[in-house]
């Protein structure tokens, strides 16, 4: 049997700002480096009252406060079109990427773009992967347990079922879950 040559030119890293998504970032960066691929970072917005807590795993609380302060003038637009939160999350992801580059060495992460979209996470991840012609989707998977996972469905499960692109689901190691 002859194996096909695998060419990965663009990787979509989908993040919900959770610990498992942050852990999956290491896999996305490693694969980006291995295949000399470009990386697209995507976060799909939904209303989440625990946003500050999630963001703190990506950037320091001081950096998050600076980002929020910088976007304070856009707060009026946030009331109308929810624009402030959208831009702040993009800023968080960009700062997270820059922090990661400092840790692993400049130039190792070949960024294509950082996207923050609104809507259904499964639909947006699939849509972006197709529109941006990504060859692989990398995302974290929450370890809920078999029964709860079967009942909840979940974003990772939805993407895995519906995507025509290969999907790498990364789960936190047992000692961190």
On whether the CB atoms of residues 171 and 177 are closer than 8 A, the answer is: yes
pLDDT tens, position by position, 75-91: 444 434 445 566 677 78
Domains: count for the chain: 2
| Domain that includes residue 155, residue range | 18-44+120-177
**Residue 112 resides in a domain:** no
CB 15 within 8 A of CB 45: no
Say which residues have a Cβ less than 8 Å from residue 165's Cβ, sequence separation at least 6: 12, 129, 130, 134, 135, 136, 137
First to last CA, the chain: 39
Q: Are residues 40 and 124 in the same domain?
A: yes
Q: Flag whether 4 is in a domain.
A: no
Among 107, 129, 146, residue at a domain's last position: 107
Rounded to whole angstroms, the Cα distance separating 136 from 133 reads: 9
Q: Where are the beta strands (DSSP E) in the chain?
A: 10-15, 38-45, 111-118, 136-141, 167-171
Q: Supply the pTM of this predicted model.
A: 0.72
Residue 159's nearest CA partner among 142, 144, 175 is 142
User: Residue 177 is part of a domain; what is its CATH number?
Assistant: 3.40.50.620
Q: What is the pLDDT of residues 14-55, one digit of tens each?
A: 998 888 888 999 899 889 988 999 999 998 876 555 666 777
- Measured distance CA(30)–CA(92) in Å, rounded: 21
């Amino acid at each position: 049997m002859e194996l096909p040559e695998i060419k990965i030119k663009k990787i979509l890293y989908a993040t919900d700002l959770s610990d498992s998504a942050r852990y999956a970032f290491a896999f996305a960066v490693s694969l980006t480096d291995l295949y000399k691929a470009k990386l697209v970072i995507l976060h799909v917005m939904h209303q989440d009252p625990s946003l500050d807590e999630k963001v703190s795993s990506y950037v320091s609380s001081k950096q998050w406060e600076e980002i929020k302060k910088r976007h304070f003038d856009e707060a009026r637009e946030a009331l109308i079109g929810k624009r402030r939160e959208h831009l702040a999350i993009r800023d968080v992801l960009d700062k997270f990427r820059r922090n990661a580059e400092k840790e692993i060495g400049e130039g190792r992460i070949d960024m294509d773009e950082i996207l923050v979209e609104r809507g259904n996470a499964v639909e947006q991840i699939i849509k972006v992967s197709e529109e941006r012609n990504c060859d692989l989707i990398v995302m974290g998977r929450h370890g809920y347990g078999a029964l709860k996972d079967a009942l909840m469905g979940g974003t990772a499960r939805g993407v895995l079922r519906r995507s025509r692109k290969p999907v790498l689901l990364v789960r936190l190691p047992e000692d961190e879950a």
